[in-house]
Amino acid sequence: MADGKILVVDDESEIRELVGDILRDEGYQVWVAGHATEARLKVDENLPDMALLDIWMPDIDGISLLKEWRQESGLPFHVIMMSGHGTIETAVEATRLGAYDFLEKPLSMAKLLLMVSRAMQAVELTRENIRLRNNATDIEKPLGESPVIQNLRQQATNVAQHYSPVLLKGEAGSGRASCARYIHHLGNRREGPFITLRIGAIASENYQAAIFGREHNGEIYSGHLEQADGGTLFLDEVADLDAETQARLLSALQESSFLRVDGTRPVSVDVRIIASTRSDLELAVRAGHFRDDLYFFLNVLPVRLPALKEHAEDIPDIVRHYVDLYIQRDHLPDRMFSDDAMAYLQEYGWPGNIRELRNLIQRLLILGDSRTISSLDVRRILRTSLQATDDTCSAMLTPGILDLPMREARECFERDYLLYQWKQSGGSVGRLAKKVGMERTHLYRKMKNLGIDHKKATVGQ
């Protein structure tokens, strides 16, 4: 059976219904439209893989509509033009505007099916190129052979076979993004797009436009949810979403349909959701910071990623993997870790997990001046990193704060901390409350007690 979404646009009802029925019999999903206005609506609601477009129509001719699609969105689907009054000049113009091919009426159904089949093969080739670009880096399965990691890989394999949402839980740097891509790669949607939305990397006021897209002055901007149609959307740090966006996201996922920001027509999508968090979402639900219904929706297939310290026996395998990667990809010199260096790596606590280990390996390969990396080399790099962190924290302390009694020192720090975070939040108490993890009423009381005037943004004397 064939597969793919096709839009048939023709003002003659008998032709469009006949063509639609034949294509449906071949296994395609088919929508029909009788004129350009209806065709625009169909495209906005559900982007097709290709369109069969009649040239002569009552409102706007097919060539003009083809030109419009090309100018607005770069023609994101294949178009086969149809005409009972075709000329060489018309065919040439349509091809110049990006049409895949040209069919003359009366239609030969055998020729139409052959041309549609070839066009869909071209669509598949385009999808494959997109997939290869999406997966430009090798799919990285959870590394190691410890029971913990073997269990994680088995969990990933199991959940990949289902379409239900997956919730990845784990500390920062534990490999949640890599695991999400691995699950996508194992599933039936591997040929579709894998779209990542790093919620912490965008401003809260832009959450909805980033997820759902926007319509503005007649132009359409597709959001991450729409871009992931037919594939997987990875929502990184989903706990950061505000309450309004949480509600709208839940509705979109339950209905498989949504409105773009400032949009008026629903957009249908078929998307598999993988969300991740380093926060305790159950605690966030109890505190009222995260919707319980969205939590239950996302938590159908929970997967916990272990911290690196929980499978330290895998560190030699992980080190070898990244050494080989950096040698091949970045042409860094090949160096080996001594036994005492490897022992130290396995004893270290790794607060930054695999990400911290990966960065350490890269630095050691770049900065090393001998064939063998010793435990002294490892300690020196780690000490430099920790010292830089300590120096940064010390530089942020108010002068003399360490000489104050603990209660006064704490109040001094809290005041400086809240003023700093307030500035980072643009003077918005709402954004500040979310950023520091406090209920707004408690935050107002805390600011008042610390002498911070939230209306004047000054500290009382």
Domain contains 426: yes
pLDDT band at 384 (very low <50, low <70, confident <90, very high): low
Task: State pLDDT tens for residues 269-317.
Answer: 899 999 999 988 998 899 888 999 999 999 999 999 999 999 999 999 9
Using the predicted structure, report yes or no on whether residue 178 has a pLDDT greater than 70. Answer: yes
pLDDT at 74: 66
Using the predicted structure, report yes or no on whether residue 460 has a pLDDT greater than 50. Answer: no
pLDDT at 222: 82
Residues 277 and 317 in one domain: no
Which of 368, 395, 422 is where one domain is finished? 395
Could you tell me the sign of the dihedral formed by the alpha carbons of 60, 63, 67, 69, in that order? positive
pLDDT band at 250 (very low <50, low <70, confident <90, very high): very high
CA distance 160 to 290: 26
Instruction: Tell me the CATH number at 268.
Output: 3.40.50.300
Residues 159 and 298 in one domain: yes
| Selected residue with higher pLDDT from 430 and 182 | 182
Q: Which amino acid is at 71?
A: Q
Residues 200 and 239 in one domain: yes
Which of 304, 329, 362 is where one domain is finished? 304
| Selected residue with higher pLDDT from 59 and 152 | 152
**Average pLDDT for the chain:** 83
Which of 304, 330, 349 is where one domain is finished? 304
pLDDT at 459: 39
Mean pLDDT over 80-89 rounds to 77
Domain with 79 in it: 5-134
Domain contains 318: yes
Instruction: Give the residue from 5, 28, 76 showing the smallest Cα distance to 268.
Output: 5
Task: State pLDDT tens for residues 440-450.
Answer: 777 877 787 77
pLDDT at 253: 93
Domain contains 380: yes
Q: What is the total count of domains within the chain?
A: 4
Task: State pLDDT tens for residues 355-374.
Answer: 999 989 998 998 877 889 98
Residues 379 and 451 in one domain: no
Using the predicted structure, report yes or no on whether residue 121 has a pLDDT greater than 60. Answer: yes
Instruction: Tell me the CATH number at 438.
Output: 1.10.10.60
Residues 151 and 297 in one domain: yes
Domain contains 203: yes
Using the predicted structure, report yes or no on whether residue 424 has a pLDDT greater than 80. Answer: no
Domain contains 140: no
Domain contains 139: no
CA distances from 199 to 174, 205, 252, 290 (A): 17, 11, 17, 15
pLDDT at 407: 64
